[in-house]
Structures are given as C-alpha cells and as structure tokens.
Amino acid sequence: MTSKEAQELARLLAKMPGIKSVELKDVRKLAELLREFPELGSIEVKGFFETGVVVTRTGSSVAAPGMAPIALPLGLHAPVASSPAAAAPAAPAPVPSSLKDIKSPMVGTFYRSPEPGAEPYVKVGTRVTTGQTVCIIEAMKIMNEIEAEVTGVVREVQVEDMQPVEFGTVLFRVDPNG
C-alpha cells in the first residue's frame, strides 16, 4: 500500500459514522500487520454502529479457506517502522527443521488437559497420530478439541497451560520421523 493510498484510506475511515478518528499511523500499523503476517486474509475495523472497512491483502498470499476476518481494536499498538531506514535489521533465516508444527486454528485460551488437575493430553515424548486430540482451545465459552494433523513424537510444547493464543500460534512441534 502506497503512502497516498494509506492517506486516502485514513480520510475515508475518519468520515465513517461510528469511527471517531483513524490516523495515518493506525492505517500504517494495520498495513504492517498484513505484511508481517501473510496468513492474515483481512483486517476488519468496525465502529460503534457496525460500520467498518475490510482491508484485504492481495498478491501471492491468499487466506486459508474458511478463515474468518479478525477484528482488531482501533487502539492497537503494534510497533511500526516509519521508514525503511528505521526498520529493524532482518532476522536470520530459520534453520530448516524436520519438526512439523501443530498450530492453533483459532483465537482462544490453550488448555493442555481435559479438566483442571487431569493429566495433559500430550507431553514431550508422547507419540501422536493424525486425528488424536492434543489440547483444548476455549473460544467464546466453547471448548474446542484440537487434533494432531501429523503422526509422530511430540518434541516441544510451545505454549503454557491457560495461555491466550492467536490464530496460527505454534502449540506443539512434532517429529514425524520419531
């Protein structure tokens, strides 16, 4: 998104009923989130009267089928570089790994066991098969059982019990060769 397009979008958003004011820096933050997280298909901004704008990422990245828009508060405070020169240095390329990730399919609260005090569904060293329940994510008071998408041995648990998770958060790392 060019600076001119971002300014135009900010002016449009500021005129919408129910949205008090959206500054260019807020639009830049939203655009930066789309660049940082290509798995986001869109960001929906809603005002008090259910007015809103959907900013859709275009290009080579396409949202996963069935992925719902993610509503973000207008007071979002994500760090955004104001110019390419101010951007942080690029992170080193990740080392290729044979481990497969089990990721959160939704936003919610992560639970390792079916109830408080019970043994966790899986631990490091547990062998899992495709379709086996590995945890629960509570979303909107509904307990959603999350199943393994790969067969193998759990090598890492990436999330603490009762920790909030976002869409795409890595929950477990599984060795399919184990």
Residue 68 has pLDDT above 70, yes or no: no
Q: Which of 121, 96, 102 is nearest to 174 (CA)?
A: 102
Per-chain mean pLDDT for the chain: 73
Task: Tell me the pLDDT tens digit for each residue of 11-64.
Answer: 666 666 555 555 667 777 777 777 777 666 666 665 555 555 555 544 443 444
Q: Tell me, what's the pLDDT at 84?
A: 46
Confidence of residue 75 (pLDDT cuts 50, 70, 90): very low
- The model's pTM: 0.47
Report pLDDT digits (tens) over 93-124. 555 678 999 999 999 999 999 998 999 999 99
Q: Is residue 104 within 8 Å of residue 169, measured between CB atoms?
A: yes
Domains of the chain: 3-81 (no CATH), 100-175 (2.40.50.100)
- % of the chain with per-residue pLDDT over 70: 54
Cα angle at 67 between 65 and 72, to 5 degrees? 155
Name, in order, each residue with C-beta under 8 angstroms of 165's C-beta and a sequence gap of 6 or more.
104, 107, 108, 109, 110, 137, 159, 171
Write down the pLDDT at residue 4: 72
